[in-house]
């Protein structure tokens, strides 16, 4: 019978103090592997945000195709700004209070209006720690994103402060006040189809702006940068990608990588997930330990993808324990 990677549900009560500590450690683990990349060179503490026009009244702030480091201040995720008659619509807020404040100023400058709504695509820190730049009452996200921030936010914060230091000054975890559900939201002439899904994490949000044909996929799609998997379910993720690929979009904005008129980001992300799952399962079935699996050869087609080896190594760390728990007697089971 083929082995699939499927993380078992956590049986512990969420109010248990020990579990809260584990959740905090899990959040720190999202960025902990980045610590060796930290260096102490000085940097001007401004993000100098440069918008790229996507369409009339639509802009993207492109993230660096890198891991989180002090030098980039955590600004590695794509941020989208939409103009509307009611005000600016922001999708994701970036890695820090400083970034969020600069983003809010830029959005007001581009649109000549105040902020109407902020959407969060998922709970990872490079996408949500700029929330302080905006009124909490205007920030919206699916319930699972809010829960993820409640459980993991402090651990993310500890790790981000350690890496990014003064870039993070004054940054606190701010929860959204508005819960997103599936449906259409009309904001100032923008008709937004809200698509709460899962895969990259247990709660992801994609948005399709029907007026412009713009599909904002968040980290459900990566392009020319290897996907991250600390909270992923690969089977669910691929199913979500199949659904997104059926949308007739004019332009696709991934969470990381360039915006394109094709759905190459969806195809590349799906291919990566399928490939790494196959490699990791094969290594496990051959009896290799985690360290040995990390040395596995990657398909030649991924050679040009940024951080391919780095993210594959991290994915082995994320996914191998679930394989071990599913196949080894007693592992992951509570004794009576």
3-state secondary structure of 255: strand
Please name every residue paired with 178 in a beta bridge, in sequence order, or none if there are none: 140
CA atoms of 327 and 6, how far apart (whole Å):
12
CA atoms of 331 and 325, how far apart (whole Å):
5
CA atoms of 126 and 201, how far apart (whole Å):
14
pLDDT value for 205: 99
Q: Retrieve residue 79's tokens.
A: 């941020």
pLDDT tens-digit series, residues 209-249: 999 999 999 999 999 999 999 999 999 999 999 999 999 99
3-state secondary structure of 319: helix
What does the mean pLDDT of the chain come to? Answer: 90
pLDDT value for 332: 41
Please name every residue paired with 256 in a beta bridge, in sequence order, or none if there are none: 222
Distance of CA 311 to the CA centre of its chain: 14
CA atoms of 32 and 163, how far apart (whole Å):
9
pLDDT tens-digit series, residues 165-217: 999 999 999 999 999 999 999 999 999 999 999 999 999 999 999 999 999 99
Residue pointed to by tokens 């970034």: 99
CA atoms of 153 and 26, how far apart (whole Å):
10
CB-based contacts of 196, cutoff 8 Å, min separation 6: 142, 144, 180, 181, 182, 203, 204, 205
Shortest CA distance to 269 belongs to which of 254, 251, 252, 279? Answer: 254
Shortest CA distance to 218 belongs to which of 245, 197, 234? Answer: 197
CA atoms of 24 and 75, how far apart (whole Å):
22
Q: Retrieve residue 133's tokens.
A: 């730049």
* Residue ranges per structural domain of the chain: 17-263
pLDDT tens-digit series, residues 253-305: 999 999 999 999 999 999 999 999 999 999 999 999 999 999 999 999 999 99
- CATH number at 17-263: 3.60.15.10
Distance of CA 262 to the CA centre of its chain: 21
Lowest model confidence (mean pLDDT) among 16-30, 140-154, 217-231, 293-307: 16-30
CA atoms of 167 and 259, how far apart (whole Å):
27
DSSP H helices in 193-263: 234-245
DSSP 37-49: G-------S----
pLDDT tens-digit series, residues 97-137: 999 999 999 999 999 999 999 999 999 999 999 999 999 99
Directed axis angle between helix 17-31 and helix 143-164, to 10°?
A: 60
């Amino acid at each position: 019978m083929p082995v699939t990677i499927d993380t078992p549900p956590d049986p512990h009560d969420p109010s248990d103090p020990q579990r809260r500590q584990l959740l905090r450690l899990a959040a720190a683990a999202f960025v902990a592997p980045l610590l060796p990349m930290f260096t102490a060179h000085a940097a001007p503490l401004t993000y100098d945000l440069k918008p790229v026009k996507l369409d009339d009244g639509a802009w993207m702030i492109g993230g660096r195709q890198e891991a989180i480091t002090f030098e980039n201040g955590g600004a590695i995720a794509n941020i989208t700004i939409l103009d509307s008659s009611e005000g600016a619509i922001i999708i994701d807020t970036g890695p820090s209070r400083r970034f969020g404040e600069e983003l809010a100023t830029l959005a007001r400058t581009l649109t000549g209006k105040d902020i109407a709504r902020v959407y969060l695509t998922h709970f990872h820190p490079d996408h949500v720690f700029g929330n302080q730049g905006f009124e909490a009452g205007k920030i919206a996200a699916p319930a699972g994103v809010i829960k993820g921030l409640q459980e993991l936010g402090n651990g993310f914060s500890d790790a981000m402060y350690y890496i990014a230091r003064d870039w993070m000054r004054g940054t606190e975890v701010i929860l959204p006040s508005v819960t997103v559900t599936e449906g259409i939201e009309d904001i100032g002439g923008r008709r937004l189809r809200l698509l709460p899904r899962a895969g990259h994490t247990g709660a992801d949000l994609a948005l399709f702006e029907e007026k412009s044909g713009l599909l904002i996929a968040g980290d459900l799609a990566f392009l020319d940068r290897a996907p991250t998997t600390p909270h992923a379910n690969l089977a669910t993720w691929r199913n979500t990608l199949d659904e997104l690929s059926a949308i007739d979009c004019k332009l696709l904005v991934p969470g990381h990588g360039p915006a394109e008129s094709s759905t190459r980001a969806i195809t590349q992300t799906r291919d990566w997930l399928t490939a790494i799952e196959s490699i990791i399962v094969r290594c496990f079935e051959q009896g290799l330990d985690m360290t040995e699996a990390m040395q596995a050869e990657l398909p030649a087609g991924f050679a040009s993808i940024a951080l391919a080896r780095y993210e594959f190594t991290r994915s082995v760390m994320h996914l191998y324990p679930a394989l071990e728990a599913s196949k080894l007697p007693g592992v992951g089971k509570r004794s009576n």
